[in-house]
A = this chain, B = another copy of it.
């Protein structure tokens, strides 16, 4: 049996994502996307009437993926090592949709859907950070007051969201090493960790600093 060919709408969003990530969303027009795919602009417009519709489709994909990760289930990480792995998954999604993170202020200004949904995602990230800290506290791995956990969760949300922009501002022409971003997030939690979790963090971090 022959493998089914990917459908044009899927190929459009995949191509757009690749070009947005490489050149920045403001610098990629629908014409460039159609050119890259060897299809006519008319064919593209048949599926997406304008670039904002493509951005919205990508944002919906991003939102689905990040919400699935942020919604903790019975398998929620309880140990420092699980958190490291969890942060890897989070940074992979951020990296996959990095154009959103690099141009977030511009998109927030221009796109009402991004404005409302992105702030909801940030709130979800922050709630999840609080829940993860409380989970670690329940296993005796982390020790902090509720105020300390609240401030820590805000900083975790901020660092996971803007680490990529920060690296870009520091070294605009060098691809970032995501492991260093995870290390920065882990080092926010480090002083609150107790017992073997702290040594484990130090071992894990050797690979990244």
Contact = CB atoms under 8 A, between A and B. Distances in A.
Contacts of A115: 172
Interface in A120-142: 122-123
A157 B159 CA distance: 11
Contacts of A172: 108-109, 115, 119
A interface, over-half SS: helix
A84 B81 CA distance: 34
Contacts of A161: 162, 166, 169
B170 A105 contact: no
A156 to B, nearest CB: 10
B209 A119 contact: no
A169 B119 CA distance: 6
Copy tally for this chain in the complex stands at: 2
B162 A123 contact: no
Chain A interface bracket (under 10, 10 to 19, 20 to 34, 35 or more):
35 or more
Given A105-B102, A190-B148, A166 B170 contact: no
Given A123-B170, A158-B166, A191-B191, 20 more contacts: A105-B106, A105-B168, A105-B169, A106-B106, A109-B172, A119-B170, A119-B171, A122-B166, A147-B205, A147-B209, A150-B209, A151-B187, A154-B184, A155-B184, A155-B188, A158-B163, A161-B166, A162-B165, A165-B165, A191-B192
